[in-house]
Amino acid sequence: MHQPPIPHLASADPELGRLVEAEAERQHQKIRLIPSENYVSAAVLEATGTVLTNKYSEGYPGRRYYEGQQVIDPVERLAVRRAKELFGVDHANVQPYSGSPANLAVYLAFCQPGDTVMGMALPMGGHLTHGWSVSATGRWFRSVQYGVRQDTGRVDMDEVRDLALAERPKVIFCGGTAIPRTIDFPAYAEIAREVGAVLVADIAHIAGLIAGGAHPSPVGHAQVISTTTHKTLRGPRGAMLMSDAEHASALDKAVFPGLQGGPHNHTTAAIAVALREAATEEFRAYAHAVVANARALAEALVERGYDLVSGGTDNHLILVDLTNRGIGGKPAARALDRAGIELNYNTVPFDTRKPFDPSGIRLGTPAITTRGLGVEQMPRLAGWIDEAIRAADRGEDAVLDRIAGEVRELLAGYPMPGWA
């Protein structure tokens, strides 16, 4: 049953209530390996379901355009203070609706349409909003894109430097959605300094690892830090922009009134709760366990002959190139889902297949670590993944259904926040 319980929803709208219960059960029964997903705590869920959603509060604490902010102001101040303390930054804005609007605010703050911007290409592991062609950021700005080396699967900082010197971007984004290796923030900072660009560290995927001390921090290197709050940070769907004092007011003006109207106060409250949780010793242990699990899972997959982009992982994420297995990422992901193992198909760098039918799968350990799985379970998980991929190739659905049963049996012993 969903936790906290949803009796009012279930009686007022049985159809929707059943769908919510079904999703809770599905999340309980699946090994969830999508690296951008997690399980938030019941406390975070409760905060998102409060009457704070009823309130309009355009502006910032102490400078609002609506009356009645006696409670909302302290809520937002609490979230801001906790963000500043947790990450050790001068400034935090907790209002961006999600990661993509947060990044859009960065462009609005520091660029004019047509300006040169630089980011990692989407098929190389970057994010759409880092200047990819189909995104507004790629259409309204002159975007130059860097990638990884074909032989190492890693970013070559000399290549990034050469490109930056030749193109002179105003803003440089580092970070992405499919980067299995540690991001060298000091090296990016040196390049940005050399060309006079604002360095933006988009830590959406790794914010929780940074907060927990399991990945180096960009603070002191990147002037601007953009992050979602719902990935490894384990908060509600939302985002934050953090910065040094110099870039603070441009960012604030870009978020409001530049881009958004009223902040989502229920989300702000839940972000505050998540930030409090992320400041605990338990969360530090969690962040390190996420990385230990990813390493163990990567090793077990390599032992079974899987080809990992860059050969392994330093963080929470693994990118597998299935080319040597003779199966595409999409049919593999579909079969794994039937086997109770949820991940996503993904482009690999220099992919020879099409983006909607690429060669790779992307997986990660944030959610299963929240459930309490440890390194001792990773060889078994790799075994299931391997067996399911082989079965997919031969169309053996019975094998997939058998694995799904074994997965359910294992997970019955691991509590899920949000489920009782």
Q: Which residues bind ligand PLP (CB under 6 A)?
A: 36, 98-100, 103, 127, 129, 175-177, 202, 204-205, 228
Judged by beta carbon, residue 140 or residue 419, the one nearer ligand PLP is 140
Residue 277 annotated among the catalytic residues of the structure: no
Is 237 an active-site residue? yes
Rounded Cα distance, 277 and 272, in Å: 9
Identify the active-site residue in 58, 167, 299, 396.
58
User: Closest distance between ligand PLP and the C-beta of residue 177, in Å?
Assistant: 4
The answer to whether 259 is a known ligand-binding residue is no
209 marked as binding residue: no
Q: Is 39 a catalytic residue?
A: no
Closest CB to ligand PLP among 325 and 362?
362
Cβ distance to ligand PLP smaller for residue 128 or 400: 128
CB of 17 to ligand PLP, least distance (A): 26
- Catalytically annotated residue among 32, 37, 129, 202: 202
At 116, list the tokens.
């040169």
Instruction: Please indicate whether residue 345 is annotated as part of the active site.
Output: no
Tokens of 263: 């902040």
CB of 106 to ligand PLP, least distance (A): 11
Closest distance to ligand PLP from the beta carbon of 398 (Å): 36
Told to judge if 55 belongs to the known catalytic residues of this protein, a careful annotator would answer no
Based on the residue annotation, tell me whether 58 is a catalytic residue of this protein: yes
Instruction: Given the residues 228, 229, 267, 313, select the one marked as catalytic.
Output: 228
Q: Which is nearer to ligand PLP, 133 or 324 (CB)?
A: 133
Task: Determine the residue with CB nearest ligand PLP.
Answer: 99
State in angstroms the smallest separation of the CB of 21 from ligand PLP.
Answer: 25
On whether 128 is known to bind a ligand per the annotation, the reply is yes
Q: Is 122 annotated as a binding residue?
A: yes
Is 204 or 291 the residue whose CB approaches ligand PLP more closely?
204
Q: Which of 30, 154, 181, 231 is catalytic?
A: 231
Amino acid at residue number 21: E
HEC per residue, the chain: CECCCCHHHHHHCHHHHHHHHHHHHHHHHCEECCCCCCCCCHHHHHHHCCHHHHCCCCEECCEECCCCCCCHHHHHHHHHHHHHHHHCCCEEECCCCCHHHHHHHHHHHHCCCCCEEEEECHHHCCCHHHCCCCCHHHHCCEEEEECCCCCCCCCCHHHHHHHHHHHCCCEEEECCCCCCCCCCHHHHHHHHHHHCCEEEEECCCCHHHHHCCCCCCCCCCCCEEEEECCCCCCCCCCEEEEECHHHHHHHHHHHHHHHCCCCCHHHHHHHHHHHHHHCCHHHHHHHHHHHHHHHHHHHHHHHCCCEEHHHCCCCCEEEEECHHHCCCHHHHHHHHHHCCEECEEECCCCCCCCCCCCCEEEEECHHHHHHCCCHHHHHHHHHHHHHHHHHHHHCCHHHHHHHHHHHHHHHCCCCCCCEC
Query: Toward ligand PLP, which CB reaches closer, 160 or 388?
Result: 160
Residue 91 pairs in a beta bridge with 243
Place of tokens 């102001």: 73
Q: Which residues are catalytic?
A: 56, 58, 202, 228, 231, 237
Binding residues for (6S)-5,6,7,8-tetrahydrofolate, by number, are 122, 126-128
Binding residues, by number, are 122, 126-128
